[in-house]
């Protein structure tokens, strides 16, 4: 039997063993005339969005409609005005100077007008060295923000490619945060809102409730009185709860159970490839396995993974035609996409050749599904690595099991270390005390412009401890290049000539994003960016 057939049978057996599942841990709130229940797989650790210890998508979809920005990303990824009367404009190129004006109707939920002071408060909060945001990128490029009324003038220190996304971000309420310790703010609640809903309550471990903001006049109001985010960790339990009417909408990570909903006339399933990609980061720092510092070991890892097989085996029914990602910087549907990692073709024999050529011993002489012999390499020891990812995600667990079997057949051992998302992203990832981590980045069309944060030397989100000075130079230049064409050329050069050669991270696939809604609910439209499904909550209504 071929290796592909063996893996397909493994995946099928695992899925068959999960059909029963357990029910939700507690009774969720059901839909009423004024309530929508949004079922989700991850619970925020707190409400400090974009702060150290919390950069989760699960947090973003709650706070994006509380911290409303000048503009937001729509369902095709374009920035459209929300709190602003029109799109921000460049009024001077040197120094780069931007002007924006908030709508007269833009007010906080306590009645205080939204003004330039609030955007200045956001900027100051992010650049204050006492504070701990995940990244200061963009904000740290600003020289000044002036204006006390509705119009703000933003002067940048230098040209900055992602200027529009930065100035369009949500302001912070100056009258609330001035003089406060921002590292202690918004842990358990958010007192005011500039968006269509505001924070109401949080029963941790069960659900978080937001309610309609009656003072929101900068756009259409919500038709529902409240939205309840119901947190269910177990994959089967989430889908069962939706089937049972315990929720009306869900934005699931890719799971095999989605196929069942495509055949159910009571539900609509939306699907598209988004600005998100599954990848495996490799720890190159002192807390990682020493073998991972060897490029030949990293090459053996990527060569020993049949990424096309993974996509076909696990996504064939819910996302037919899904291909492995061959870039971290651009997505397959973008004109700028280049297959920088396409040079690494799956070959078990090549893995064996790479390892034995570098003096590794103790592994198999030929690839075998039954192999238990693991290689050891000179000066770095046994090729046995910790593999971390989020718990409660069945398809991700299946992905791991297939990769684990593929690599074990050529003498590389992976040991599972699954954790809840709050621990994985809040503690483990920034600690750099791991070997391999598989997770998804959810971005926007501007994400490549700020790629330096993740892959440049010393980047604030470079938890891999990766450093290539030539790649960093290109990534940093791209971030201050306003023109899209030259910027894309620099980014592709950084990835193709350096990052893909160094292999600090392995792209697995550009992840399809899904939304499932009960046909009793109309309006939700899938958004492929980190804005999330509730981006148009004002249009949700009973069908």
pLDDT tens by residue, 496-505? 999 999 999 9
Instruction: Please classify residue 85 by burial: count the beta carbons closer than 10 Å to its beta carbon, then call 0-12 exposed, 13-18 middle and 19+ buried.
Output: middle
450 vs 32, residue with greater confidence: 450
Show me where the domains of the chain are located: 24-66+195-272+514-543, 71-187, 280-512
pLDDT at 509: 87
Q: Give the CATH class of 71-187.
A: alpha beta
pLDDT tens by residue, 145-200? 999 999 999 999 988 999 999 999 999 999 999 999 999 999 999 999 999 999 99
pLDDT at 52: 87
pLDDT at 33: 63
Q: Taking 70 as the threshold, does the pLDDT of residue 7 lie above it? A: no
**Structure token pair of residue 421:** 């998302």
Q: How far apart are CA 231 and CA 226, in angstroms?
A: 16
pLDDT at 493: 98
Q: How far apart are CA 539 and CA 150, in angstroms?
A: 27
Domains 24-66+195-272+514-543 and 71-187 agree in fold? no
Does the domain formed by 24-66+195-272+514-543 have CATH 3.40.190.10?
Answer: yes
> Do 241 and 31 contact (CB within 8 A), yes or no?
no
Mean pLDDT computed over every residue of the chain = 91
Confidence at 17, pLDDT banded by 50, 70, 90: very low
Provide the whole-model pTM: 0.75
Q: Taking 60 as the threshold, does the pLDDT of residue 354 lie above it? A: yes
Q: How far apart are CA 389 and CA 412, in angstroms?
A: 18
Confidence at 22, pLDDT banded by 50, 70, 90: very low
- Give me the residue label for tokens 């804005």: 531
Q: How many CA atoms lie within 13 A of 241 on its CB side?
A: 31
**Under CATH, which number does the domain 280-512 receive?**
3.10.105.10
Q: How far apart are CA 282 and CA 300, in angstroms?
A: 13
Q: Taking 90 as the threshold, does the pLDDT of residue 263 lie above it? A: yes
Radius of gyration of the chain (CA): 24
pLDDT tens by residue, 92-134? 999 999 999 999 999 999 999 999 999 999 999 999 999 999 8
Helix residue spans in 364-523 (DSSP H): 394-408, 421-423, 429-431, 452-455, 469-479, 484-493, 500-502
- Give me the residue label for tokens 């969720």: 28
95 vs 21, residue with greater confidence: 95
525 vs 23, residue with greater confidence: 525
């Amino acid at each position: 039997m071929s290796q592909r057939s063996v893996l397909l049978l493994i995946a099928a057996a695992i899925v068959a063993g999960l059909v029963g599942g357990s029910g939700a841990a507690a009774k969720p709130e059901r839909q009423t005339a004024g309530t929508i229940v949004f079922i989700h797989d991850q619970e925020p650790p707190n409400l400090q969005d974009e702060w150290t210890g919390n950069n989760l998508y699960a947090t973003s979809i709650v706070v994006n409609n509380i911290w409303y920005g000048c503009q937001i990303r729509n369902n095709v990824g374009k920035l459209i005005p929300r709190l602003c009367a029109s799109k921000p404009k460049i009024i001077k190129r040197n120094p780069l100077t931007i002007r924006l004006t908030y709508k007269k109707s833009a007010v906080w939920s306590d009645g205080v007008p939204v003004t330039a002071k609030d955007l200045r408060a956001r900027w100051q909060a992010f650049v204050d060295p006492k504070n701990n945001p995940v990244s200061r990128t963009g904000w740290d490029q600003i020289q000044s923000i002036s204006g006390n009324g509705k119009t703000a003038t933003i002067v940048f220190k230098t040209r900055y490619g992602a200027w529009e996304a930065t100035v369009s971000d949500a302001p912070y309420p100056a009258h609330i945060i001035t003089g406060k310790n921002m590292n202690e703010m918004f842990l358990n609640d958010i007192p005011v809102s500039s968006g269509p809903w505001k924070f109401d309550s949080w029963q941790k471990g069960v659900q978080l409730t937001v309610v309609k903001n009656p003072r929101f006049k900068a756009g259409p109001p919500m038709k529902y009185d409240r939205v309840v985010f119901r947190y269910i960790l177990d994959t089967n339990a989430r889908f069962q709860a939706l089937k049972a009417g315990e929720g009306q909408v869900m934005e699931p990570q890719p799971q095999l159970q989605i196929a069942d909903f495509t055949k159910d006339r009571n539900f609509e399933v939306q699907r598209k490839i988004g600005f998100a990609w599954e990848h495996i980061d490799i720890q190159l720092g002192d807390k990682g396995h020493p073998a991972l510092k060897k490029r030949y070991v990293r090459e053996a890892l990527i060569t020993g993974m049949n990424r096309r097989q993974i996509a076909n085996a696990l996504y064939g029914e819910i996302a037919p035609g899904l291909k492995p990602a061959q870039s971290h910087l651009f997505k397959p549907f973008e004109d700028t996409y280049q297959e920088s990692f396409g040079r690494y073709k799956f070959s078990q024999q090549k893995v064996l050749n790479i390892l034995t050529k570098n003096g590794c011993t103790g592994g198999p002489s030929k690839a075998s599904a039954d192999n238990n012999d693991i290689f050891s390499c000179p000066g770095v020891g046994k090729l046995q690595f910790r593999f971390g990812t989020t718990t409660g995600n069945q398809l991700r667990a299946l992905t791991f099991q297939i990769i684990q079997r593929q690599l074990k057949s050529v003498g590389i051992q992976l040991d599972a270390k699954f954790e809840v998302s709050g621990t994985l992203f809040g503690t483990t990832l920034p600690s750099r005390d791991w070997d391999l981590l598989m997770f998804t980045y959810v971005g926007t069309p501007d994400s490549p412009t700020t790629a330096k944060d993740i892959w440049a030397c010393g980047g604030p989100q470079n938890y891999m401890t990766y450093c290539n000075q030539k790649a960093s130079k290109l990534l940093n230049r791209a971030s201050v290049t306003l023109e899209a064409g030259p910027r894309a050329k620099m980014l592709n050069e950084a990835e193709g000539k350096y990052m893909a050669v160094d292999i600090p991270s392995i792209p697995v696939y550009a992840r399809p994003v899904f939304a499932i809604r009960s046909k009793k609910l109309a309006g939700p439209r899938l958004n492929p960016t980190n804005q999330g499904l509730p981006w148009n909550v004002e249009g949700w209504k009973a069908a």
